[in-house]
Amino acid sequence: MRAPQNQIIYAFFVLLFVGMYPAIGAELKPWNPQAVLQLSDVLYSSSRQLNIECRESPPQYTNESTSGHFAFRYHVRHFSSVANDLSQALEEGRSKEETQPIFDTLVEIMNDLKVYSEKKAGGPWPVVSKAVMQADGILTQLGDYYPKA
């Protein structure tokens, strides 16, 4: 009596796996060097715009002091520099495996940028938050080509 029950359970898991496999595989887009390069160029442009907005806006990033502004500016410059590195690496024809660490670094920096750009009392100016969200949207589109770490 146990054997048929085990076979039914096994069959259920096989069907579940076969049914879920296309959904799992659909998360990652096939590597398209031209599309990834174009997105990385747009990301770099967006990071430069973020740097401009950050420079032109008054230093209103935290309630504590201007040290939050300096930390945010550091992250913005670092993000822009790494976005440029990714764009140049892709332009040189580097593969997904070679550029994955650069992309992962961008994701980590974006997490820091989001913390500083949250819309709260005493937080950043709306144009700065909007520039961060725009860069994050492009980074998310680029993430469709890279496996999640």
Q: Which residue, among 101, 95, 80, has the nearest Cα to 37 in the 3D structure?
A: 95
**Distance in angstroms (rounded) separating the CA atoms of residues 120 and 114:** 12
- pLDDT at residue 44 above 80? yes
Mean pLDDT of 123-149: 88
106: three-class secondary structure by DSSP: helix
- CATH architecture observed for domain 30-143: Up-down Bundle (1.20)
**Distance in angstroms (rounded) separating the CA atoms of residues 128 and 131:** 5
DSSP structure class, residue 28 = S
Q: Where are the chain's structural domains?
A: 30-143
pTM, 2 dp: 0.75
Instruction: Between 67 and 74, name the one with better pLDDT.
Output: 74
Least confident range from 74-83, 103-112, 114-123: namely 114-123
Q: How high is the pLDDT of residue 117? A: 75
Q: How high is the pLDDT of residue 77? A: 95
**Distance in angstroms (rounded) separating the CA atoms of residues 97 and 84:** 18
Q: How high is the pLDDT of residue 69? A: 73
User: What CA–CA distances, in Å, run from 2 to 6, 8, 99, 120?
Assistant: 6, 10, 51, 59
Q: How confident is the model at residue 15 (pLDDT cuts 50, 70, 90)?
A: low
